[in-house]
Amino acid sequence: MPTYFEKKQLVTPGEMLAEGDYLAGNNTYAENSKIYASRIGLADCNNKQVNVVALRSFYFPKVGDIVIGTVLEVGFNGWTVDIKAPYTALLRASDVLSRPFKPQNDELSQVLAGGDLIVAKIASYDRAHDPQLTVGEPGLGKITRGQIIKVTPSKIPRVIGKKGSMISMIKQETNCQIILGVNGVILVTGKNPDNEDLALAAIQKIENESHTSGLTDRITQFLKEEKEKMEENKNE
Amino acid sequence: MNEKPEKLIDKKGLRLDGRKADELRPVKIEVGILPNADGSAYIEHGKNKILAAAFGPREMHPKHLSRPDRMVLRCRYHMAPFSVGERKSPAPSRREIELSKVIRESLEPAVFVEYYPRTGVDVFIEVLQADGGTRCASITAASLALADAGIPMRDIVVACAAGKVEDKVVLDLFDTEDKVGSADVPVAFMPNLNAVTLLQMDGILTPDEFEKAVSMAIDGCKKIYELQKEALKTKYMLLEAEEEVEE
């Protein structure tokens, strides 16, 4: 029962990865007890499970995901929200108001208008229905300040780093609050725009160099250097 | 080559462009060259020059065309007005509409359409220069554009034609051979699953000739597939190379 790849080998869709007693993991499929890749990515085998870490993918909603979306339209009893997925999401008025919603009393566009950005969680989604959002948890709701940066969704794990090492380092170094939307939208809020710009630059750097190793160290270095430069500019 | 040539194959068995009977035209493929598309590919197959771009999966418009159980794949094959000798009207012709359908049907078996219900994926194929066998080159490029867009696929589809010229079965006909020759058999193929997704025949062949043409076209497909894989990997290889330097 062999496998036909080396660890971290670049594979293309349709390439046979293993034969026999293996399980098809992420971005793979099984046919006739053979495992094939279904996306371009790096192959890996973990406990008889063959996975491909996709180098190219798109966001597809999953219940429980924290996403950042843009309000598209104010409807009769809720909003439609663009979450950068193949479906538009729905946010119900009763969820936001936390009291029974009466159309005659509440003007929805005063709560959230088109173009507003929100942090939300996917409350329900299945094949037959568009995803439904909820903001009824701490940390969720309308975004009032900060800056947004968009990255490829498949690179979000890289921004988080091993056990959150990367993201907590950036938070510490730049003194910013960072909220990661699984759909590839990142919100950075800091005490001043300079800090925010620094965090954004670091995230941009991660996106550009996400497939290199030793990235956390390099980003730490990068942030330290940039901070020194900022100090110098202030002193001048 | 506007006049009809007298001989398509010379005494040595070489064709008008100097190829042997079972020789492909030179093929050059590049992946991911259009930043505005989710996935893209460019192919030069002999004198054919074709761009393919894939968008999606995204919400289907118009909505009534979406399917509750699967993703809808749409293809648009289009020839630029300057792609052929005499200006071609840019409006979609009967032939282009048919080829769009044929290309869609040859790509569909490779895509996991059932994973993403109610969505749509659009593939736009633009022929910049045509020299026979554009549908095959289009399929080859379009499947790479889909893979580059990150859409899960069973296999990459590759296509190649074979045909009959002066009573001889030859691989990969170019324009003059296609027009003057007596048969053309385009084949689209999934190399890893060993499955044919498109098989057409235009002209007259004996059963033996037909079988020979099909197996010849499949051999050609396998050769182009290696180039496809290489092109796809080249785009992402840069990232790997960087990694090695790092360690």
Which residues of A are less than 8 Å from B246 in CB distance?
A: 212-214
Ranges A26-30, A195-199, A213-217, B147-151: which has the least confidence? A213-217
**DSSP collapsed to 3 states, A110-140:** HHCCCCCEEEEEEEEEECCEEEEEECCCCCC
Task: Examine the pLDDT at B247 and tell me if it is beyond 90.
Answer: no
CA distances (Å), origin B236, targets A58, A85, A191, A210, A211: 17, 24, 38, 12, 10
Question: A177 with A195, same domain?
Answer: yes
Domain that residue A95 falls in: 66-142
Question: A138 with A153, same domain?
Answer: no
Band of pLDDT at residue B246, cut at 50, 70 and 90: very low
Q: Average model confidence (pLDDT) for chain A?
A: 89
- Top residue of B154, B221, B238 to mutate, by most chain A CBs within 10 Å, is B154
Q: Give pTM, 2 decimals.
A: 0.90
Domain membership of residue A161 (yes or no) is yes
Domain boundary among A84, A111, A142: A142
Q: How far is B26 from chain A (nearest CA, A)?
A: 23
Residue indicated by tokens 């499955």: B195
Q: How far is B140 from chain A (nearest CA, A)?
A: 14
Cβ neighbors of B1 (< 8 A, separation 6 or more) are: B16, B175, B176
* Per-residue pLDDT tens digits for A32-62: 989 999 999 989 888 889 999 888 889 999 9
Question: A125 with A75, same domain?
Answer: yes
Band of pLDDT at residue B4, cut at 50, 70 and 90: low
Residue A3 near residue A50, CB atoms below 8 Å:
yes
Domain boundary among A118, A142, A166: A142
Residue A90 near residue A131, CB atoms below 8 Å:
yes
Q: Taking CA atoms, what residue in A is nearest to B241?
A: A212
**Paired residues of B59 in beta bridges:** B119
Token reading at B224: 């182009």
Which of A61, A49, A27 lies closest to B152 in space, CA to CA?
Answer: A27
What total of structural domains would you count in chain A?
3
Could you count the other beta carbons within 10 Å of the beta carbon of residue B79?
23
Domain membership of residue A1 (yes or no) is no
Residue B151 near residue B39, CB atoms below 8 Å:
yes
Question: A23 with A50, same domain?
Answer: yes
Question: A182 with A201, same domain?
Answer: yes
Q: Taking CA atoms, what residue in B is nearest to A26?
A: B152
- Top residue of B55, B240, B244, B245 to mutate, by most chain A CBs within 10 Å, is B240
B27-235 fold: Ribosomal Protein S5; domain 2 (3.30.230)
Q: Taking CA atoms, what residue in A is nearest to B121?
A: A86
Asked if the C-beta of B33 comes within 8 angstroms of chain A's C-beta atoms, the answer is: no
Question: A127 with A154, same domain?
Answer: no
ipTM at complex level: 0.88
Task: Examine the pLDDT at B208 and tell me if it is beyond 50.
Answer: yes
Task: Examine the pLDDT at A211 and tell me if it is beyond 70.
Answer: no
* Per-residue pLDDT tens digits for A78-118: 999 999 999 999 999 988 887 777 777 778 888 899 999 99
Question: A43 with A71, same domain?
Answer: no
Q: Domain map of chain B by residue range?
A: 27-235
Which of B194, B38, B40, B197 lies closest to B110 in space, CA to CA?
Answer: B197
* Per-residue pLDDT tens digits for B42-67: 999 999 999 999 998 999 999 999 99
A176-210: burial string, b at 16+ Cβ within 10 Å, e else? bebbbbbbbbbbbbbeeeebbbbbbbbbeebbebb
So what's the pLDDT on residue A205?
A: 87
Which residues of B are less than 8 Å from A40 in CB distance?
A: 147-148, 150, 232-233, 236
Q: Give the SS3 label for residue A28.
A: strand
The Cα A54–Cα A120 span in angstroms is: 25
So what's the pLDDT on residue B2?
A: 55
Question: A151 with A134, same domain?
Answer: no
Question: A111 with A86, same domain?
Answer: yes
* Per-residue pLDDT tens digits for B183-203: 999 999 999 999 999 999 999
A26-43: burial string, b at 16+ Cβ within 10 Å, e else? ebbbeeeebbbbbbbbbb
% of chain A exceeding 70 in pLDDT: 98
The Cα A16–Cα B51 span in angstroms is: 28
Which of A208, A60, A198, A32 lies closest to B151 in space, CA to CA?
Answer: A60
Asked if the C-beta of A40 comes within 8 angstroms of chain B's C-beta atoms, the answer is: yes
Domain CATH for A87: 2.40.50.140
Task: Examine the pLDDT at B72 and tell me if it is beyond 60.
Answer: yes
Which residues of A are less than 8 Å from B237 in CB distance?
A: 10
Helix (H) or strand (E) holding B99: helix B94-107
Q: Which of residues 166-195 of B touch A (CB under 8 A)?
A: 190-193
The answer to whether the Cβ–Cβ distance between A39 and B58 falls below 8 Å is no
Ranges A187-196, B133-142, B183-192: which has the least confidence? A187-196
Question: Who has greater pLDDT, B161 or A42?
Answer: B161
Question: A155 with A221, same domain?
Answer: yes
Which of B61, B55, B59 lies closest to B118 in space, CA to CA?
Answer: B59
Question: Who has greater pLDDT, A211 or A114?
Answer: A114
Question: A151 with A137, same domain?
Answer: no
Strand runs labelled E in chain A: 10-11, 16-19, 23-24, 28-31, 34-37, 41-46, 49-54, 66-74, 78-82, 88-92, 117-126, 129-134, 141-142, 147-150, 176-180, 185-190
The answer to whether the Cβ–Cβ distance between B156 and A36 falls below 8 Å is no
Give the strand pairing for A28-31 and A141-142.
Answer: unpaired
The answer to whether the Cβ–Cβ distance between A86 and B240 falls below 8 Å is no
Domain CATH for A195: 3.30.1370.10
Q: How far is A14 from chain B (nearest CA, A)?
A: 4
DSSP letters for B169-202: EEES--HHHHHHSSEEEEEEEETTTTEEEEE--E
Q: Which of residues 142-171 of A touch B (CB under 8 A)?
A: 154
